[in-house]
Structure 1
Amino acid sequence: MDMATAIAVAGSAIGAGIAVFTGIGAGLGQGYAAGKLAEAVGNQPEAKSEIMSSFIVGAAIAESTAIYGLIIAIILIFVNPWI
């Protein structure tokens, strides 16, 4: 393995590690949103169904960013053309 290939493989590994960090942001965002959901339902219990439906859509969008990061990391690790 020459030096250029070694650098490319190392870059892929570093990129995969960075891509996995998207899960941290998604977890923090979903936790914050769940806290605000509980606060909103506590303030207006009669609007629980509307608040819950908005929360579920927001949680799905936040979770999709983590899944995209995981897919990128898997691609960088297992579909590496330099190995």
Structure 2
Amino acid sequence: MDNLGLIGIASILGSALSIGLGAIGPAIGEGLGLANALRAIAQQPDKANTITRTLFVGMAFIESTAIYAFIVSIILIFANPFWNHFLNQGGG
């Protein structure tokens, strides 16, 4: 297999690992956050608005981690600098 094929395979595998592993942490964090928020609302129903507002802000911060993993994955597939280097070097 030539270098261009190896770069393509490494890009796809790196992208898959990036989005796969990068989504596990936020998913677990969001699940735990939601479970604890529901538990807190069940214990203190009068504070539901404050708890919900804080929950949504926390969820936005947690979700940004998954978005960063998605961006890295997209960069590895579509804007890989190694891919362009080998194409220019090979004359293709």
Name the TM-score class by shorter chain: 0.7 to 0.9
Unaligned runs of 5+ in 1: none
* Structure 2 equivalent of residue 58 of structure 1: 58
Tell me the SS of whatever aligns to 2:80.
coil
The 5 A counterparts of 1:2-81 are 3-21=2-20, 22-81=22-81
TM-score of the superposition, structure 2-length normalised?
0.76
Partners of 2:10 and 2:62 lie apart in 1 by 27
Number of residue pairs matched? 82
> Which deviations, in whole Å up to 9, do the C-alpha atoms of 1:43-75 show, x marking residues without a partner?
011111111111011100111111111111011
In structure 1, C-alpha distance between the alignment counterparts of 2:78 and 2:4, rounded to whole Å:
16
Q: TM-score, normalised by structure 1?
A: 0.83
C-alpha distance after superposition, 1:13-71 (max 9, x if no partner): 22211210212221121111111111000001111111111101110011111111111
Q: Gaps (5+ residues) in structure 2? A: 88-92
Shift of 1:3: 4.4
Q: Which structure has the bigger radius of gyration?
A: 2
In 2, the alpha carbon distance for the partners of 1:75 and 1:41 equals 40
Separation of aligned partners in 1, 2:52 and 2:76: 36
